[in-house]
C-alpha cells in the first residue's frame, strides 16, 4: 500500500529565494502530500514574499509571530500533518532533495521506525566543509552523545530526520526541547521507547550565513543532552531518575499553549 508523506520545513529569517527553490525540489522529487513551511517571527516582508512566491500546490505556509524555536516549530508542523510518514528538513537546503529521499527509503521499506540523516557517517559525502571550529565542536558533541544515549550514531544534529506516524504518536508526548536540542531528544526518546532507529548517510552541503553561534549552541546542546538523558532513563524505568523528576515541573511541547 502506498504511504503518504508530509514534510515540515522550520524557517527563521530564511533566504526566501533559496527556500522557495528548495521546496520546489522537495515537491518534485519526493511527491509529498504536504510541504509545510513553519515560519517563525517573519521580518523584512518575508511572509509577504513567500505568499507571493510560485510555491508548488502541495506547499502551505504557517506563520508564528514569535520565535518558537526549531523544535517547537517542527512539533507544530508534525501535529498538523495526517500523513503516514513525517519528515523534517532544515530550510537552508543543506540536505538535498535526493538525500532526503534516501532517508525515507528504510521507512517506506519497513526497515526502520525512525531514520536519521548523517553527515558524519563514513559513507556520507560532504561537498563543502564547515569551519575547523564547527567540525571539532560537532565531533566532540557526537562523542559525548554516543556515551550518554542509547542510540549510538555518528551524527545527532543533522537537520533531516523522518519517522512513521505511528512512532510520532508514541514519542510526541515525551518531547520538551523547543530549540535545537529537539533533534537529539527525538532520537533519544524514540530509542528509549524501543524504536528501530537507523542512521542514513547523505550528501550534505554546509551553507554559509548561519546565524547560529557554534560555541554558544554547542554549550547549550551539551547542557540539554544531560536533561535528555535523564528523560530517556526515566522511560527505561530508572527509579533514580523518577525520583529526580518528582521535583521538576515540565510540560511537553504538544501540551503547551
Between 226 and 117, residue with greater pLDDT? 117
Share of the chain above pLDDT 90, in %: 60
Does the pLDDT value for residue 7 go beyond 60? yes
pLDDT band at 209 (very low <50, low <70, confident <90, very high): low
User: Which of 150-154, 172-176, 213-217 bottoms out in mean pLDDT, i.e. has the lowest?
Assistant: 213-217
pLDDT band at 245 (very low <50, low <70, confident <90, very high): very low
Burial class (CB in 10 A: 0-12, 13-18, 19+), 108: middle
Rounded to the nearest integer, the mean pLDDT of the chain is: 86
What is the reported pLDDT for 128?
A: 65
Compute φ and ψ for 57, nearest 5 degrees.
-55, -30
Residue 220 CB-half CA count within 13 A = 13
Does the pLDDT value for residue 131 go beyond 70? no
User: Which of 72-81, 168-177, 195-204, 228-237 bottoms out in mean pLDDT, i.e. has the lowest?
Assistant: 228-237
Compute φ and ψ for 9, nearest 5 degrees.
-120, 100
Does the pLDDT value for residue 80 go beyond 50? yes
What is the reported pLDDT for 17?
A: 96
What is the reported pLDDT for 240?
A: 40
**Where are the chain's structural domains?**
5-255
pTM for the whole thing?
0.86
Compute φ and ψ for 237, nearest 5 degrees.
90, 20
- Considering the segment(s) 5-255 as one domain, its CATH architecture is Alpha-Beta Complex (3.90)
What is the reported pLDDT for 129?
A: 59
**Which residues neighbour 201 within 8 Å (Cβ) at sequence distance 6 or greater?**
102, 118, 121, 122, 123, 124, 125
What is the reported pLDDT for 135?
A: 65
Closest residue by Cα to residue 225 from 161, 182, 191, 167: 182
Between 40 and 234, residue with greater pLDDT? 40
Average pLDDT over residues 181-190: 91
pLDDT tens digits, one per residue of 14-64:
999 999 999 999 999 999 999 999 999 998 899 999 999 999 999 999 999
Amino acid at each position: 500500500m502506498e504511504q503518504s508523506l508530509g514534510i515540515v520545513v522550520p524557517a527563521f529569517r530564511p533566504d526566501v529565494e533559496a527556500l522557495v527553490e528548495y521546496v520546489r525540489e522537495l515537491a518534485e522529487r519526493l511527491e509529498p502530500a504536504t510541504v509545510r513551511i513553519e515560519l517563525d517571527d517573519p521580518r523584512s516582508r518575508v511572509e509577504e514574499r513567500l505568499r507571493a512566491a510560485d510555491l508548488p500546490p502541495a506547499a502551505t505556509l504557517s506563520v508564528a509571530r514569535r520565535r518558537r524555536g526549531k523544535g517547537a516549530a517542527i512539533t507544530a508542523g508534525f501535529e498538523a500533518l495526517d500523513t503516514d510518514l513525517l519528515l523534517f528538513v532544515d530550510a537552508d537546503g543543506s540536505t538535498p532533495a535526493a538525500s532526503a529521499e534516501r532517508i525515507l527509503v528504510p521507512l517506506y521499506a519497513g526497515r526502520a521506525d525512525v531514520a536519521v540523516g548523517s553527515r558524519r557517517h563514513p559513507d556520507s559525502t560532504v561537498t563543502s566543509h564547515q569551519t575547523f571550529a564547527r567540525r571539532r565542536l560537532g565531533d566532540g558533541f557526537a562523542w559525548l552523545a554516543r556515551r550518554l544515549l542509547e542510540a549510538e550514531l555518528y551524527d545527532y544534529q543533522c537537520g533531516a530526520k523522518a519517522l512513521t506516524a505511528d512512532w510520532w504518536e508514541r514519542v510526541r508526548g515525551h518531547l520538551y526541547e523547543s530549540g535545537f536540542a529537539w533533534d537529539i531528544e527525538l532520537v533519544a526518546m524514540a530509542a528509549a521507547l524501543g524504536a528501530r532507529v537507523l542512521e542514513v548517510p547523505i550528501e550534505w552541503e554546509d551553507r554559509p550565513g548561519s546565524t547560529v553561534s557554534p560555541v554558544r549552541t554547542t554549550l547549550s546542546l551539551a547542557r540539554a543532552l544531560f536533561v535528555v538523558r535523564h528523560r530517556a532513563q526515566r522511560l527505561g524505568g530508572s527509579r533514580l531518575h523518577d525520583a529526580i523528576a518528582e521535583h521538576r515541573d515540565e510540560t511537553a511541547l504538544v501540551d503547551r499553549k
